[in-house]
Amino acid sequence: MSSMTHTEQLSVRSRRQIDGWRWTGRIFLAILLIFTVVPIAWMFITSLKTGFAAMQYPPQWWPAAPTLENYTRLLDTRDSVGQDFLRYFFNSMYVSVLTTILAILVAVPAAYAFSRFSFPGRTFLFFAVLMRNMFPAVVFLVPLFILMRVLGLVNTHGSLILTYLTFGLPLAIWLLKGFYDNIPIQLEQAARIDGATRFQAFFFIVMPLSTPGIIATAIYSFIGAWNEYIYAYTFLTRQDQMTLPVGIQRFFSENATDWPGLMAATFMMSVPVVVLFLVLQKYFVRALTEGAVKS
Amino acid sequence: MAEVILNQVVKTYGSIYAVNHVSLTVADGEFVALVGPSGCGKTTTLNLIAGLIPMSGGDIYIGDKLVNDLDPKDRDIAMVFQNYALYPNKTVFKNLAFPLQMRKLSKDVIDSKVMAAAKVLDITHLLERKPRELSGGQQQRVALGRALVRDPRAFLMDEPLSNLDAKLRVQMRSELKRFHHELNATVVYVTHDQLEAVTMSDKMAVMDGGYLQQYDTPKNVFDHPRNTFVASFVGSPAMSLFPLEIIGAGTSVSLGSPEGWSFPLNELNSRKANASTGKKVILGARHSTITVHKTAHPGAVPGKVYTVEPTGDVTFAQVFVGDSIVVVSVEPQVMLRLDEPVWLEFDQDRMHLFDGQTQLALNPA
Amino acid sequence: MSSGQAIFTDGPGTAPRRPGLFSRMWKQRADYLYVLPAIIVMLIVIGYPIYYTIDLSFSRTPTTLKLSDKTFVGLQNYVAILTSPNFWKVTWQTLVWTVLSTIFAFGLGLGAALSLHREFAGRAFMRGLLLIPWVISAVAASYVWKWLYHSDFGAIGALMVQIGVTDEPINFIDNTRTSLYALIVVNVWKEFSFAMIMLMAGLQTVPESLLRAAQVDGANAWQRFWHVTWPHLSGVSMVTILLLVVQNFNSFIIPFVMTGGGPAGSTHIWITHIYEIAFQRQNWGAGAAYAVILFILMMILGIFYVRALTRGDATRAGT
């Protein structure tokens, strides 16, 4: 379809037909873009308003007097609002980064084994790992809460990290396995003949080649942990421990909803994941689709 | 360099035999080709020698050392892979240096060995490139260099030329042969191309269905194929095989077809036919041993030209004899027309007879 | 393995005894080390909760969750929830939520994937924009849409009045007739790009030469899609739809944050309902019984999911 020489051979009628489909596609895309972008734009526009400007009917489609005051307040360490917001932000960062590191450390060897070895029970274990994705978070809440009590992890970030790890693992293992499946096994065989142990072959040859997969898996784990809400909402009761998704909620429902402030906080909360995602988009997209595409 | 000995080697996957009780000895400095159609077990055999997959039974010796339970790294062998298996994230230099680093040699020694190998293979100017920046032929040399750089006890090669284009393949074939000669290396070479096996090897091991069908010098395999599989696999164009019936007994036996024609066998061939387990034999004849007559001729069998392929030096033709196709060759000036009737005369001294049941070559009774 | 050709088979024919399961496991014990960390974590955090939930579902447990006071009550919890009128109402709402969300997310995703498949300037940028809703947290999405739907100052209501669709701003989420559908819109907004990205990957597997051949054979755009593109997409579509169904059935954040299941329970779906029963009414037994039924449903879906995912995977592990 992309070839011009081909299009040239076609009759005028079918060329018109192709143009018709192309235009349908463009119009569809335009509508979809509006649907996608307008809510995000409105979040940003609202965050530039004062509380008074936001509460008007009909709304100001663009703020008459745009202000950054909502943002400066969130980042102000002398203001109690800013102190809380920054603490939530760093809590979220701490939990997400640690979850990501641990997920990679655990998922890499597991994915490699599932891709390369044929030990008895391999298929069963792989299915069991994938099955984990089927269960909603809520049904694990009570037992996990009790488990955390037994492990002495209630009201610690450890409880969240351990939980997020199990959430992220199945997908991380699956994504990474897709990458390892695509690395020719001959490379390791060559390395082993060249004098490497199995582990050395993995570490010196396979690991460096799977870096894009590891990056993708890391982003996925990070985004998953950063956005998680239910466990953070249940396991942490102390204000100073809370992560962003829970923190901003508590915080704004106390003093009747301050919509511009809430939108500014929501915007700030979305910035790290969106930036991370847009910068590393190609790894992410590739990894997610690797499994679906191969066959 | 060392000899490689396989004794009753078996590899099974579930109930399927990939390699079925294969025994063969590769003498020190010998170039042995493992050859057969895909799925015949040749690559599995090579991987067993390398230690890349566990054996199900049997013994493998490299030198005088039993290596059954040794890791690939401890077998002291080098291997060249079909897709070269160059480490894509390392430069050519680092690819060559990797086996030496794994053996914890000093940096100076590594440098000098890599340079020496690079010089031999004429890849010195490529050392800083990554594999993906190289042509197929260059990658092939680097893969060879990685095997050469240390002095292994044997070289294993898994279809190293099959990814090259036809012209380069012929050129590398001679180079590999030269390289084997100069290093006096023990080489086990896997290929599906019988021509490669015949032209390069000291001995060829023909495999099919996991079994070693024949293990001998290319000349002996060509002249004395042990069974119909080997007969039809080695040689190009392939040997023509067609089933016939034994008529008569004693010292004057004839072979007859369902169509009614027959021709007498000489004394040696009669004795061979007498050794057959049943009344059926398979006649095998290479194109070069068949004389084509344009008119009926005593002892010649009737056929009809099906296709004609002039190649310049020689013209090949496929001739229908009964239901079987027989490949013959004639001088280029002989004109054969499609559907023309011809009479084929077999050279009794160079024809092959196989048992119709066991498919084995017949020996005089 | 047999080539149909004459095969020389004079080797001894007896098979070596196949080693037993345990000896094979022992021989390959080192392989398990690689998966062990993952298995341990999964066992603790998944195996134990499943056991525990099943246990709770057959018991009456005091609201304090003091386990020593737990008593066995058999199927009582199950009977109670299955006979409750709420059960069928919530189940119906869950079905509407899941089916509509899946259909629209898949449809928009497919349309977007087809429109973005062709190379054009700014394609990667557009793909990035479309993916933003999927990347940001569901909590953020919920707040943004709650504000868009706001009964007094919401942008959507005001816009509809300005372009003359209605006279008064419509109250979308405080209305039992519209609330569920208003939330479905949010859910579709959040997840359609997931379907898009999966299908874009699937589209890459459609061989260009086949499309050319179809074009030469005189197939129009629709025929090419139906006869060439779609058959290549069916595998990916299967996985995508299954994942969407599971994801939608298990939704929690959007209804919980936006409406808390209200008004009058009109936006309760299974998961928010379970949360309410267990955590807000402290009826642990009933909550657990719900969860067990859900496990079973998910296991059935899960079998299809795993099948679809691992199709064609058939142990490529060589060594």
Res A12: pLDDT: 56
Asked if residue C144 lies in contact with residue A248, where contact means CB atoms within 8 angstroms, the answer is no
H-state helical runs in chain C: 21-27, 29-42, 48-57, 76-83, 85-117, 123-135, 138-148, 155-162, 179-203, 208-216, 221-224, 230-249, 253-258, 270-275, 284-310
Cβ distance of C111 and A32 shorter than 8 Å: yes
Which tokens hold the place of B1?
């360099």
Task: Give the Cα separation of C45 and C54 in Å (integer).
Answer: 15
pLDDT of residue C76: 82
Q: In what order do the strands lie in the sheet with B154-158?
A: B77-80, B154-158, B187-191, B31-35, B203-208, B211-216
Task: Write the pLDDT tens digit of every residue in B54-104.
Answer: 899 999 999 889 999 888 989 999 999 988 889 988 999 999 999 999 888
Among all chains, which residue has been given the structure tokens 């392929």? B309
Residue of C nearest to B206 (CA): C8
The shortest CB-CB distance from A125 to any of C39, C204, C312 is to C39
pLDDT of C162 reads: 83
Per-residue model confidence as pLDDT tens digits over A34-69: 999 999 999 999 888 887 777 777 787 888 888 888
pLDDT band at A130 (very low <50, low <70, confident <90, very high): low
List, as own/partner pairs, every contact residues C56-62 make where C-beta atoms lie below 8 angstroms and the sequence separation is at least 24, other chains included: C56/A142, C56/A143, C56/C284, C56/C285, C56/C287, C56/C288, C57/C285, C57/C288, C57/C289, C57/C291, C57/C292, C58/C285, C59/C285, C60/C285, C61/C284, C61/C285
Collect all residues from C whose CB is shorter than 8 A from any CB in B.
1-3, 5-12, 15-16, 18, 318-319
ipTM higher than threshold 0.85: no
Residues 6+ apart with CB under 8 A from B242: B282, B283, B321, B322, B324, B326
Q: Look up the CATH superfamily of A79-290.
A: MetI-like (1.10.3720.10)
Q: Would you tell me how many other CB atoms lie within 10 Å of the CB of residue B50?
A: 22
Contacts of residue B354 in chain C, CB cutoff 8 Å? 6
- C-beta separation of C56 from C290 below 8 A: no
The CATH number of C85-317, from 3.90.480.20, 3.30.70.860, 1.10.3720.10, 3.30.70.3270, is 1.10.3720.10
Interface test with C, best of B16, B158, B208, B234 (most C CBs within 10 A): B208
Q: What gap in Å lies between CA A40 and CA A46, rounded to an integer?
A: 10
CA distances to A42, A253, A272, C280 from C173, in Å: 18, 18, 30, 22
Question: What is the number of other CB atoms lying within 10 angstroms of the CB of residue C226?
Answer: 12
Q: What are the structure tokens assigned to C299, written together?
A: 């296991």
d(CA C31, CA C10): 37
- Residue that wins the pLDDT comparison between B34 and A113: B34
The first and second tokens of residue B268, run together, are: 């040696």
Q: What is the pLDDT of residues A75-105, one digit of tens each?
A: 888 888 888 889 999 999 999 999 999 999 9
CB contact (8 A) between residue B79 and residue A205: no
Tokens representing B17 are 């035999």
Whether C144 and A39 lie within 8 Å, measured CB to CB: yes
Question: On the CB side of B347, how many CA atoms lie within 13 Å of its CA?
Answer: 11
pTM equals: 0.77
CB B206 within 8 Å of CB B221: yes
DSSP label of C313: T
Transcribe A51-70 into DSSP letters.
HHHHS-SS--SS-SS---HH
**Angle of the C179-203 helix axis to the C138-148 helix axis, nearest 10:** 130
The secondary structure of C90-102 as a DSSP string is HHHHHHHHHHHHH
Instruction: State the Cα–Cα distance between residues C317 and A117, nearest whole angstrom.
Output: 5
Share of chain A above pLDDT 70, in %: 83
Which of A3, A29, A266 is closest, CB to CB, to C115? A29
How buried is residue A98: exposed, middle or buried, by Cβ count under 10 Å (0-12/13-18/19+)? Answer: middle
Inter-chain touch C3–B226, beta carbons under 8 Å:
no
Chains linked to C by 3 or more Cβ pairs within 8 Å:
A, B
Nearest CB neighbour to B228, from listed C6, C11, C319: C6
Q: What are the Cα distances from residue A217, in Å, to A128, A222, A261, B256, B259?
A: 20, 8, 33, 72, 72
Measured between beta carbons, the chain A residues lying within 8 angstroms of B85 are 184, 186-187, 189-190
Which pLDDT score, from 0 to 100, does residue C185 have? 95
Of A45-59, B152-166, B204-218, C241-255, the one with minimum mean pLDDT is A45-59
User: Does A182 contact chain B (CB < 8 Å)?
Assistant: no
DSSP calls for C136-181:
S-HHHHHHHHHHHT-TTT-HHHHHHHHTTS-SS----TT-TTTHHH
C166, two tokens: 């209605």
Q: Taking the CB of residue C85, how many other CB atoms lie within 10 A of it?
A: 7
H/E element, B108? helix B107-121
- Cis omega (within 30 of 0) on the bond before B237? yes
Confidence of residue B179 (pLDDT cuts 50, 70, 90): confident
Note whether A243 and A91 are within 8 A (CB).
Answer: yes
Give every CB contact of residue C84 below 8 A, 6+ residues apart in sequence.
Answer: none
A62/C contact by beta carbon, under 8 A: no
Question: Would you say B190 and B159 are in contact if contact means Cβ atoms under 8 Å apart?
Answer: yes
User: Which residues in chain A have Cβ-Cβ distances shorter than 8 Å to B146?
Assistant: 190, 194
Give me the average pLDDT of each 10-residue run along chain C (319 residues).
40 50 70 76 76 84 72 82 86 94 95 86 86 92 90 81 80 86 94 90 82 80 84 83 87 89 86 86 84 84 72 38
The burial class, CB within 10 Å (0-12 / 13-18 / 19+), for B258 is: exposed
CB atoms within 10 A of CB C83: 9
- Name the amino acid, one letter, at C216: V
| Whether C318 and B53 lie within 8 Å, measured CB to CB | yes
Burial class (CB in 10 A: 0-12, 13-18, 19+), B240: buried
Does residue B186 have a pLDDT over 80? Answer: yes
Please tell me if residue A120 touches chain B, with a CB cutoff of 8 Å: no
* Mutate: best of C104, C125, C134, C144, partner A, most A CBs <10 A: C144
- Measured between CA atoms, the residue of chain A closest to residue B53 is A189
Cβ–Cβ < 8 Å for B216, B227: no
Domain boundaries, chain C: 85-317
Across B36-44, average pLDDT:
91
The confidence score (pLDDT) of residue A253 equals 60
Q: Contact B244/B282 with Cβ under 8 angstroms?
A: yes
User: Is A207 an 8 Å CB contact of chain B?
Assistant: no
Cβ of B71 within 8 Å of Cβ of A192? The answer is yes
Q: Return the minimum-mean-pLDDT range out of A115-119, B6-10, B132-136, C90-94.
A: A115-119
- Say which of B18, B20, B37 has its CB closest to residue C11: B20
Better-scored residue on pLDDT, A131 or A180: A180
**Residue C144 and residue A43: Cβ atoms within 8 Å?**
yes
Top pLDDT among B161 and A123 is at B161
Buried b (16+ CB within 10 A) or exposed e, A155-186: ebbbbbbbbbbbbbbbbbbbbbbbbbbebebb
**pLDDT over 70 (residue B134):** yes
Q: Is the pLDDT of residue B121 over 70?
A: yes
In this prediction, residue C106 carries a pLDDT of 96
B211 and C7: CB-CB below 8 Å?
A: yes
Position C294 scores a pLDDT of 85
For A3-12, the pLDDT digits (tens) are 444 444 555 5
What span, in angstroms and rounded, lies between the C-alpha atoms of C158 and C141? 20
User: Is the Cβ pair B16, C3 closer than 8 Å?
Assistant: no
